[in-house]
Amino acid sequence: MKRTLVLSLVILLISTGLGLAEQVEQPKPASWADPERLSYEEIKFSPPKPERVVLENGLTVYYMEDRELPLVNISFVVGAGSVFEPPGKEGLAEMTGDVMRTGGAAKLTGDKVDEELEYLAAPISISMGMEYGTGSLSVLKKDLNRAFKIFADIIRYPTFDEAKLDQEKNLKIEELRRVFDKPQRLAFREFRRVLYADNPRGRLPVIASIEKIERDDLASFHKTYFFPRNLRIAVTGDISKQEAVDLISRHFGDWDDEGDFGTAPLPKPQENAPLFFFQKKVPQSTVIIGAIGPGKESPDFFPFTVLDYILGSGGFRSRIFQEIRSNRGLAYSAGSFYEGRQGYGSFGAYAMTKSESTGQVLSLMEGILKDARESRVPAQDLHLAKRSIVNSYIFSFTSPHMIAFQYMMLEFQGLPTKFLTDYPSMIDAVSREDILKIAEKYLDPERRTVFVLGDESKFDEALKSFGTVKRVN
């Protein structure tokens, strides 16, 4: 009671012009320097490089010591992703990863694996993505031998218990039933389907494809893609190099290097695609304009990274955020994303706005992308983007495991080691002309994918005023 009274008195005072603002003497920042003029000691930091060891069968190991905590962290990457799934069995990669973890390994049942790992508090996770799969083990040093044996058995000898497969399939089916309950997630999923139309990356798991997956599919997917030269391991922590190499050789040294490196066609931009529309009764629309961008190995990668920063991934000052959110209050989430992968990249500009401003937001986003194609970015925008990307680069090296993991991924993606060391200077070398050229090349309106999810009956402007519309549901 007392509190409410105090508060309302305060409000009353202010609204009658006797605000506390004038009554309370605030310290003046006059003595403080202009934040622009603060000077900083230089940071000299060259991130350490992991050591690299190749076993006779071709398995590559990256190692770094890290004695701060009594922990050992191990990760792997494997060239096995959903892009290699046979048509009609979408979801197979994910099921394989899940049931490797839950369906038993060597002589242990899945339940026994769970019990041992949880008693040791040594989590193992396996996650299969679109292009590749990753896995990890984190364990207290004292339990390393026991936990690593299980980890290795999961990688080499998963038993794919039928009952566990059924369980994982049922859980996945329920997850798919629920995709429609979260509109933003649904929007990005459907966007992926249309961005990668006619490419394996655009084939997504559905209930029917999950139902078709059988134990033999998992075993064969595993046998095909899990082999020494298609898998890399990073080990860091409270362990010496010799211990690490011995441990890995003991469990993987006799592994035959047999299998296939998967291949898949690269996605291509679609020419003159219609505007894709997903009707759903929600108070807020999701608007995405996507494009196929440059791959990580392309010289275009660096200018495109800077362009993406300026457009929408560079925080509050980026154009989409500043225009749609700060200036107009039309969205809470608005921005862009870009990921350079092997041979191609994916880009998207997005915003979520109330149904009644869907057309306005789409026009604003189109305008921002058009501007990027037509005029050189102001020097100060480029300066901010470059400084921000270069200065934050040290955060890619904040732990030994992060460093070893990055080197592992670099080599896995076929990139030269100097990619990591040259990255800041490559960003710094990007010019305003480079960005203009890159925007013209990749953001061509005839080669983009526009996607809208929302409730058409509430839109401020009919989508057909933006071009041919194709309903996708």
Partners of 235 in the β-ladder:
63, 74
Q: Does 379 contact another protein by CB under 8 A?
A: no
Among 328, 373, 376, 432, contact with another protein (rule: CB under 8 A): 328
Largest interatomic CA distance in the chain: 83
- Stretch in the footprint of another protein (CB under 8 A) among 110-118, 223-231, 415-423, 442-450: 110-118
User: Given the structure tokens 């999923």, which residue do they identify?
Assistant: 189
**What phi and psi, each to the nearest 5 degrees, are found at residue 219?**
-60, -40
Residue nearer to another protein on the CB measure, 73 or 230: 73
User: Given the structure tokens 């929600």, which residue do they identify?
Assistant: 282
Residue nearer to another protein on the CB measure, 47 or 343: 47
Among 104, 133, 303, 314, contact with another protein (rule: CB under 8 A): 314
Tokens matching residue 299: 């010289």
**Smallest distance from the beta carbon of 448 to another protein, in angstroms?**
22
Tokens matching residue 460: 């401020």
Tokens matching residue 115: 């019990």
| Coil, strand or helix at 413 | coil
Q: Does 46 contact another protein by CB under 8 A?
A: no
**Smallest distance from the beta carbon of 142 to another protein, in angstroms?**
7
Tokens matching residue 232: 């890399």
Long-range contacts of 142-150 (CB under 8 A, 24+ apart): 142/70, 144/72, 144/239, 144/247, 145/247, 146/116, 146/120, 147/116, 147/117, 147/120, 147/122, 148/74, 148/247, 148/251, 149/251, 150/105, 150/108, 150/113, 150/116, 150/117, 150/124
Among 54, 208, 266, 394, contact with another protein (rule: CB under 8 A): 394
Say if residues 55 and 396 touch (Cβ distance below 8 Å). no
Among 57, 109, 136, 138, contact with another protein (rule: CB under 8 A): 138
Q: Does 45 contact another protein by CB under 8 A?
A: yes
**Smallest distance from the beta carbon of 71 to another protein, in angstroms?**
6
Site for another protein in 13-42 (CB under 8 A): 14-15, 19-21, 24-27, 29, 32-36, 38, 40-42
Q: Does 399 contact another protein by CB under 8 A?
A: yes
Q: Does 170 contact another protein by CB under 8 A?
A: yes
Among 82, 96, 346, 353, contact with another protein (rule: CB under 8 A): 353
Q: How many residues bind another protein (CB under 8 A)?
A: 98
Among 145, 240, 391, 417, contact with another protein (rule: CB under 8 A): 391
Residue nearer to another protein on the CB measure, 263 or 392: 392
Tokens matching residue 315: 């925080």
Residue nearer to another protein on the CB measure, 220 or 363: 363
